[in-house]
Amino acid sequence: MNNSLSSYIHSESIDELDERTLLALKEALADIVACTIAGRKTEAANIAKQFAVAQWGTGKSSIVLFPEKLTAPGAAFVNATMANELDLDDGHRLTKGHPGAVIFPAVLAAAEEIDASGKDFLTALLIGYETGIRAGMLAHQLRPEYHCTGSWGAIGAAAGVSRLLGLSQERTEHALGNAEYFGTYSPMMRCIEQPSMLKDGINWGCMTGVSAAYLAKLGYTGIPSLFQMGEAIELIQELGSHYRINELYYKPFACCRWAQPAIEAVKVMKASHGFTADQIEKIIIHTFTESAALSKEYPKTTEEAQYNLFSQQQPILFMVK
CATH number at residue 157: 1.10.4100.10
**Better-scored residue on pLDDT, 194 or 222:** 222
Please check whether residues 52 and 98 belong to one and the same domain: yes
Please check whether residues 155 and 294 belong to one and the same domain: no
Please check whether residues 165 and 283 belong to one and the same domain: no
Rounded to an integer, the average pLDDT of 278-291 is 86
pTM, full prediction:
0.94
Please check whether residues 11 and 134 belong to one and the same domain: yes
Rounded to an integer, the average pLDDT of 245-257 is 93
pLDDT value at 144 more than 60: yes
Please check whether residues 97 and 216 belong to one and the same domain: yes
- Alpha-carbon distance 167 to 169, whole Å? 6
Please check whether residues 36 and 132 belong to one and the same domain: yes
Please report how many Cα atoms fall inside a 13 Å half-sphere around the Cα of residue 315, on the Cβ side: 19
pLDDT value at 278 more than 90: no
Give the pLDDT confidence score for residue 63 in this predicted structure.
98
Q: 174 lies in a domain? A: yes
Q: Is 54 helix (H, G, I), strand (E, B) or coil?
A: helix
Residue that finishes a domain, picked among 226, 247, 268: 247
Please check whether residues 121 and 14 belong to one and the same domain: yes
Q: 190 lies in a domain? A: yes
- Alpha-carbon distance 135 to 148, whole Å? 11
Percent helix, percent strand, percent coil in the chain, to nearest 5: 65, 5, 30
Rounded to an integer, the average pLDDT of 221-232 is 96
Percent of residues, the chain, with pLDDT higher than 70: 99
Q: 68 lies in a domain? A: yes
Percent of residues, the chain, with pLDDT higher than 90: 72
Residue that finishes a domain, picked among 247, 280, 303: 247
Summarised one tens digit per residue, pLDDT across range 50-77 is 999 999 999 999 999 999 999 999 999 9
Give the pLDDT confidence score for residue 37 in this predicted structure.
98
| Tally of CB atoms within 10 A around 119 | 11
- Alpha-carbon distance 219 to 222, whole Å? 9
Q: Is 48 helix (H, G, I), strand (E, B) or coil?
A: helix
Q: In total, how many domains does the chain have?
A: 2
- Alpha-carbon distance 171 to 9, whole Å? 12
pLDDT confidence band for 233 (50 / 70 / 90):
very high
Give the pLDDT confidence score for residue 2 in this predicted structure.
53
Give the pLDDT confidence score for residue 1 in this predicted structure.
41
The domain of 216 spans 5-247
